[in-house]
Amino acid sequence: MKKNIGLTDRLLRLGVAVLLLGMAWWWSSWILLLFSLFTFFEALASWCVIYQIIGKNSCPLK
């Protein structure tokens, strides 16, 4: 998996993952928990499957 998510995008995804995790706990929702874990994985791995499919890359050039 080639990295395709930059730092700002990763931080936003981490925030969304924490928010979804709180909502999943509050509403006892397995679906929100799965979305939260998937978003958290994307942020940690710096890789997004949707970005891969459409060819987008928010990583800075090295």
Average pLDDT value over all residues in the chain? 95
Q: Is the pLDDT confidence value at 34 over 80? A: yes
How do residues 5-26 score in pLDDT, each as one tens digit?
Answer: 999 999 999 999 999 999 999 9
**Could you tell me the two tokens for 56?**
């987008």
**Could you tell me the two tokens for 41?**
């994985």
Tell me the pTM: 0.87
Given pLDDT bands bounded at 50, 70 and 90, which one contains residue 60?
confident
Domain boundaries, the chain: 7-54
In the chain, pLDDT over 90 holds for what percent of residues?
Answer: 90
Residue matched to tokens 């800075």: 60
Side chain identity, residue 4: N
Q: Is the pLDDT confidence value at 62 over 70? A: no
